[in-house]
Amino acid sequence: MNEGLFINIIIGISIASVPLIFAAIGELLVERSGVLNLGVEGMMIVGALLGFVVMSHTQNPFLAVFAAMLGGMAIASIFAFLTQFLLTNQVATGLALTLFGLGFAAFAGRGYTEETIQLITAVPIPYLSDIPYLGPLLFSFNPLVYLSFFMVYLVWWFLFKTKQGLILRAIGDNHDAAHAIGHNVVRYRVMAILFGGAMAGIGGSFLSLVQVPIWGEGMTAGRGWIALGLVVFASWQPFRIIFGAILFGGITILQIHAQGLNINVSAQYLSMLPYLATIVILVSLRIRLKNKTNRTVPNCLGRIFHSTT
Amino acid sequence: MLRLIPRVENSTAMVLLSPVLALTLTALSAYLIFIFVLVDIPVSSVFFTLFVEPLIDSYYLSELLVKAAPLMIIGLGLSIGFRAGIWNIGAEGQYVIGGIAGSAVGLYFYDVEAVWLLPLMTIAGILGGMFYAGIAAFLRVKYQVNEILVTLMLTYVAVLFLSAMLQGPLRNPSGFNFPESRIFHDSAMLPIIWEGTRLHIGLIVAIILSLVAWFGIKKHMFGMQIKISGSAPRAAKFAGFDDNKTVWYSLLISGGLAGLAGLFEAAGPAGQLTPGLPAFYGFTAIIVAFLARLHPVGVLFSALLIALSYVGGENVQIEYNLPSSITQIFQGMLLFYFLACDILIKYKVVFFKTKN
């Protein structure tokens, strides 16, 4: 294999996996706080739309990504309000969020389906990217790629190295006990949900700002759901998200390259690979764990909290 | 300040009032959206086209019932599974596989005229859906893999599989390479129950199934089992209910019904297998099930309501050039409001002054 193709594949994998890293690391924090938000797909598509719209009007990538983040947070706030203050069922509310987000994005984005924008391109870091081999491999990615890795680190640091992170995990494991010793369960959870929305929004914007320069209805194509699968696969451990996402990125790129090589399999069967892989990976995780219960599952995941005091 | 105080008993008045409140709030939000979006069309005429016209025009009414039938059938199956806390989110996939399996039988006998053909297709459709949901049941029972993710991933796979089938084995050999199957033989089509419209026997089947399910849940031990498994899993364990059985039954029933709906759609309004088969019914049926509060008979009514929004949405698309995705926004909003209003059943909202 020549060097150019190898580097292209690495870059392709990174581009395919970054939206998943963003969405999954956000959801990981949400689930660590004991909340199951199934609206990731809806938050991602809203982020993809807003990023695209702002980019096409301002040509400013910072504003575009920022708008996508705010959009994800805005729609996540609906979920936060309903589940935390009106105590609705989290599964149902999350599904409603996804359906609403898909509908809203299709409706609001109907004037943008013909437009194209300038993609956010990779920014090679000066000098470092000139190092032979290592340079193109480590220092010439899109800035959002670095940001996604940094967010994973940040979430890990927050969860395991700060007092607030410890409280958040405690709330996820036993909200009644955490409440009893005086922690504000709802405030932590609302913050976590908003963070999840922000990350899903940025992840979604990556699709319409870095992967392809167009906006299309339903362009997230299930990535929000794959991100939810990744959180389970990662056993709620931040760094494993990167590993899982790269695995998916690899499968996606494999599928694209196989289509290019004219392998005698219908394109549809190859396109099934990422979805089938999600299932296979979830099953293999359970086989690896054997009959041991997964100790890292937040105990209160999906349970409703209401304090009378 | 507002505060929620738990009620000692669920409020019966609120059980009835909260859906009305949710509908009112949805209509109000729709009104505000229209004021914002519409430039020179009066909001009232859009409202009329959206919510009233489908009910007074006999053609639109028949189309409403055509759309309600699959929503009823799928929503019914989901309501049973959701009661047990089994979240089959991929009914859309089971619907597609059911449609493919049943259609494959119909296409195999495409030149045969026989009374057994439609029943055979129906069985194939149900089995197709059951098989597809059964994968999720197997993985949940054997490996504790979350059924939400499995059924959903399989939905994407099913849609791709449909596309592969329509470009391959099931494509019409004399159809100029269009990705569509042959038109079914007359004896493979569902009987029409309203002359001159597309309304087929599926509606009657849906009503019968819902009554059977209602009776079954009320009278049969299994109904008790899924209810307890969903609302009090620990109690279900002490009662000796078999967890795995609940998973299997819930998924097989909801999958089988989704498969049935898929076949009905292919052998009913479509009359052939087309790429347009997956029409989001499987996802919308989730809303239907929740709006019915997971009640098997309530599903009939919520399906009608959602079908109204579909037909009305299509009409405003044609008449006022508004995008049909507006329907999806309303459906999502309706579910939001509905879930939110239900808090009034279990809690009292109390105003009180904060002491400084």
Summarised one tens digit per residue, pLDDT across range B24-58 is: 999 898 888 888 877 777 888 888 888 888 888 88
How many cross-chain Cβ pairs, A to B, lie less than 8 Å apart? Answer: 131
CB contact B25 to A (< 8 Å):
no
Q: Is A271 left (phi over 0), alpha (psi -120 to 50) or beta?
A: alpha
DSSP for residue B188: G
B168 — contact with chain A (CB < 8 Å)? yes
Q: Which residue of A has its CA nearest to B147?
A: A279
Cα A298 from Cα A33, distance rounded (Å): 8
Q: Is B320 a member of any domain?
A: no
Token output for A230: 């990744």
| pTM: predicted TM-score of the whole model, two decimal places | 0.88
Nearest Cα residue to B220 out of B30, B333, B80: B80
Q: Across chain A, what does the average pLDDT equal?
A: 85
pLDDT for position A49? 94
Are B293 and B207 in contact, with CB atoms under 8 Å apart?
no
Q: Taking the CA atoms of A75, A166, A88 and A296 in sequence, report the sign of the dihedral they define.
A: positive
Q: Tell me how far apart the alpha carbons of residues A167 and A188 are, in angstroms, rounded to a whole number.
A: 9
B34 touches chain A (CB under 8 A): no
Supply φ then ψ for residue B323, to 5 degrees.
-70, 145
- Judge whether A11 and A257 are in contact, CB under 8 Å: no
Quote the CA–CA distance of B195 and B178 in Å, as a whole number.
30
Nearest to B157 among A103, A107, A272 (CB): A272
Which residues are paired to B348 by β-bridges? B5
Domain count, chain B: 1
Positive or negative CA dihedral for B200, B203, B206, B207?
negative
- CATH code of the domain occupying A10-119+129-289: 1.10.3470
In a domain, B332, yes or no: no
Cα A268 → chain centroid:
25
**Would you give the DSSP letter of residue B325?**
H
B130 part of a folded domain: yes
Structure tokens at A290: 């054997």
One-letter amino acid of A111: G
CB burial class (10 A; 0-12, 13-18, 19+) of residue A69? buried
A276–B149 C-beta distance less than 8 A:
no
Residues of chain A positioned with their CB less than 8 A from the CB of B4: 87, 306
Q: How many residues does chain B have?
A: 356
What is the C-alpha separation between B219 and B212, in angstroms, rounded? 10
Coil, strand or helix: which one is A221? coil
Residues 6+ apart with CB under 8 A from B146: A232, A282, B140
Are B5 and A229 inside 8 Å of each other by CB? no
More confident of the two residues B16 and A275: A275
Task: Choose from A275, A286, A290, A294 for mutation: most chain B CBs within 10 A.
Answer: A275
Interface probe for A, chosen from B148, B294, B324, B330 (most Cβ of A below 10 Å), is B148
Residue with tokens 């059911």: B98
> Over the stretch A139-184, which tens digit does the pLDDT of each residue have?
667 788 889 999 999 999 999 999 999 999 999 888 888 888 888 8
The pLDDT assigned to A152 comes to 95
Residue B127 and residue B260 in contact, taking contact as beta carbons nearer than 8 Å: no
* Cα A62 from chain centroid (whole Å): 19
> Between chains, do A271 and B327 touch, taking CB under 8 Å as contact?
no
Buried b (16+ CB within 10 A) or exposed e, A272-298: bbbbebbbebbbebbeeeeeeeeeeeb
What confidence tens digit (pLDDT) does each residue in B185-244 have?
A: 878 788 888 878 888 888 999 999 999 988 888 887 777 777 777 777 777 777 777 788
Cβ–Cβ < 8 Å for A22, A195: no
Which residues does residue B350 pair with via DSSP β-bridges, in sequence order? B3
The reply to whether residue B152 touches residue A86, judged by beta carbons under 8 angstroms, is no
CB-facing half-sphere around the CA of B353: CA atoms within 13 A: 2
- Collect all residues of chain A within an 8 Å Cβ-Cβ radius of residue B157: 272, 275-276
Q: For residue B184, how far is the Cα from the chain centroid?
A: 25
Print the domain residue range for B226.
69-289
Q: Which residue of A has its CA nearest to B151?
A: A279
Q: What is the pLDDT of residues B147-194, one digit of tens each?
A: 888 998 899 899 999 999 998 888 888 877 788 888 888 787 888 888
State residue A139's pLDDT score. 67
Query: Are A249 and A231 spatial neighbours (Cβ–Cβ below 8 Å)?
Result: no
Chain A hits for B100, CB-CB cut-off 8 Å, are none
Alpha-carbon distance B94 to A263, whole Å? 29
B318 is a domain residue: no
- For B329, the closest of A82, A107, A272 (CB atoms) is A107
Residue B189 belongs to some domain of the structure = yes
Band (A67; pLDDT cuts 50, 70, 90)? very high
The C-alpha atoms of residue A185 and residue B253 are separated, in whole angstroms, by 38
Mean pLDDT value of segment B294-318? 90
The helix (H) or strand (E) run that includes residue B351 is strand B347-351
Kindly determine whether residue A286 and residue B143, on different chains, have CB atoms separated by under 8 Å.
yes
> Is the pLDDT confidence value at A135 over 70?
no
Q: Which amino acid is at B315?
A: N
In this complex, do A271 and B146 lie within 8 Å of one another by their Cβ atoms? no
The ipTM assigned to this model is 0.87
Phi and psi angles of residue B349, each rounded to the nearest 5 degrees, phi first? -95, 125
Give the 3-state secondary structure of residue B254.
Answer: helix
pLDDT of residue A290: 67
**Cβ–Cβ gap B167/A221 under 8 Å:** no
Give the span between the Cα atoms of A135 and A126, in whole angstroms: 10
Q: Which amino acid is at B222?
A: F
- Given a cut of 90, whether residue B300 has pLDDT beyond it is yes
Chain A touched by B163 (CB under 8 Å): yes
Element (H, E) at A51: helix A40-58
What is the least distance, in Å, from the CA of B159 to any CA of chain A? 9
**Among A65, A7, A110, CA closest to A203:** A65
pLDDT of A198 higher than 90: yes
The larger pLDDT score, comparing residue B67 to residue B33, is at B67
* Segment of A7-11, A26-30, A55-59, A122-126 carrying the highest mean pLDDT: A26-30
Name the residue of chain A whose CA is nearest to B138's CA: A283
At residue A175, the pLDDT reads: 87
Q: Which residues of A5-25 are buried (b: 16+ CB within 10 A; e: fewer)?
A: eeeebbbbbbbbbbbbbbbbb
Of B149, B168, B340, the CB nearest to A225: B149
